[in-house]
Amino acid sequence: MRRNKVDKDKVQQSIQLLLEGLGVDLDNTHYRKTAERAANAWVEELCSGLGEKKFSLTTFPIGNNYEPSMVVLQHIPVRSVCAHHLLPFYGEATVAYIPDERLCGLSKLSRIVDYFARRPQVQEELTSDITNFLCEQLSPQGAGVIIKATHMCMAMRGVSHDGVMTT
């Protein structure tokens, strides 16, 4: 993914223009700092994965007496933004791999999901980015990621279906 420098001022100006374009009463006290707050949320939270350096994963060698078995971490929270509509999608990930020569700490699996989730994208891209990263870093015998998510672009627009899970 090609990355440009994140420009928080430009994000804030764009949100201000969006609010003006929507005809929002910007003199209302509730909206006075909305563009600033929203820009902070987009840059520092929702899309922090765009400006971050590459994720560094600490791994550990497997001892000689280790019998390979699958490592599975379930119910990892996923919060991301749909690249098509810039609306959130959220759900849970299951990450699994069969170690070969190296392991990573369980908490790192959760951190990997969070790192890759914090940028606009499609769910399929997020799933493959996590899987590919695990394979590059651990060279496991096998790896897989399943993400079940609710997409607000389906719940709040178009078909307006709540509770639909995408895998």
Domain boundaries, the chain: 8-46, 59-166
Q: pLDDT digit string (tens) for 51-103?
A: 756 778 889 998 888 787 899 999 999 999 999 999 999 999 999 999 998 99
Q: What is the pTM of this model?
A: 0.87
* Structural element, H or E, at residue 136: helix 123-138
pLDDT band at 39; cut points 50, 70, 90: very high
Block residue for tokens 């998510």:
149
Tokens of 167: 């895998």
In this predicted structure, what is the pLDDT of residue 2? 53
| Residues 6 or more apart in contact with residue 115 via CB below 8 angstroms | 49, 52, 55
Per the prediction, the chain carries an average pLDDT of 90
**Residue 22 C-beta-side C-alpha neighbours within 13 Å:** 10
Tokens of 56: 């560094």
Q: Could you please state the CATH topology (level 3) that the domain comprising 59-166 is classified under.
A: GTP Cyclohydrolase I, domain 2 (3.30.1130)
* Structural element, H or E, at residue 112: helix 106-117
Q: How far apart are CA 77 and CA 114, in angstroms?
A: 8
Q: How far apart are CA 25 and CA 32, in angstroms?
A: 9
Q: Is the pLDDT of residue 40 over 80?
A: yes
Span 126-140, average pLDDT = 96
Question: What DSSP designation does 46 have?
Answer: I
Q: Considering only residues 161 and 13, tell me which one the structure prediction assigns the higher pLDDT.
A: 13
In this predicted structure, what is the pLDDT of residue 3? 62
Q: Is the pLDDT of residue 146 over 90?
A: yes
Amino acid identity for residue 81 in this structure:
V
